[in-house]
Amino acid sequence: MENFLVRLPEIVIQLLAFAFALSVHESAHGWMAERLGDPTARWLGRITLNPIKHVDPVGTVLFPLMLAVLNAPVIGWAKPVPFVTRNLRNPRRDPALVGLAGPVSNLLLAVAAVALLLLAKGAMPGFRDLLVTLLREGALGAGGVAAPLVYLLFSLAMVNVVLAVFNLIPIPPLDGSHVMMALLPPHLRFRYAGLERYGMFILFALLWFGVLGVILRPFVNGLVWILLSP
């Protein structure tokens, strides 16, 4: 309990970064669907950065909170942004573009956060030591005012990289499944779509057996290497 209270500011920053990243991700789905001819997300108020509009009790609250407490990279999911396939200009191709919009938005946010961190790295003496301290100890008070800002930017970069990669896994209902559906021949699409009823169980199993860690670790390590390299 004492360790949890010590890490509470760090956990709050991670969850704030996650809520923002997820709101951008879901809004990007709705925005792309609207651009491709379907205004359903706009009508339902889902093109918004208000995270409350996107909350899924398990995927947006319980799952990421559990990971944050366990000091694992924060991932999760929101309520799916609805779109009507028949309203899209190209019903075969466009669902894949709608699906890709979310991960692409996360990658753009990650690039922006990394760019700001690299600027701070060049301008702030002791940046590398501060980041190492934050990653190892989570000591937000160690660097004065700079520490929470650096940790927030790092959390934004990390959460967005992890969300992008996680959502590209081709397991329904993740975004990668929309891309896979567009690539599969018609006789396999229906069977593949049937996996969605088991999707959450598959994802929990991948987490439990460490497979998600194997998938995500190279990207997490690559991000840390970029920021800590001389």
How far apart CA 129 and CA 147 sit, in angstroms, is 11
DSSP assignment of 108-176, as one string? Answer: HHHHHHHHHHHHHHHHSTTHHHHHHHHHHH--GGGGTTHHHHHHHHHHHHHHHHHHHHHHTS-STTSHH
Residue of 10, 26, 137, 196 marked catalytic? 26
Report residue 94: phi and psi, to 5°: -65, -35
Locate 192 and state its tokens: 């593949």
Active site residue 26: yes
List, by residue number, the catalytic residues. 26
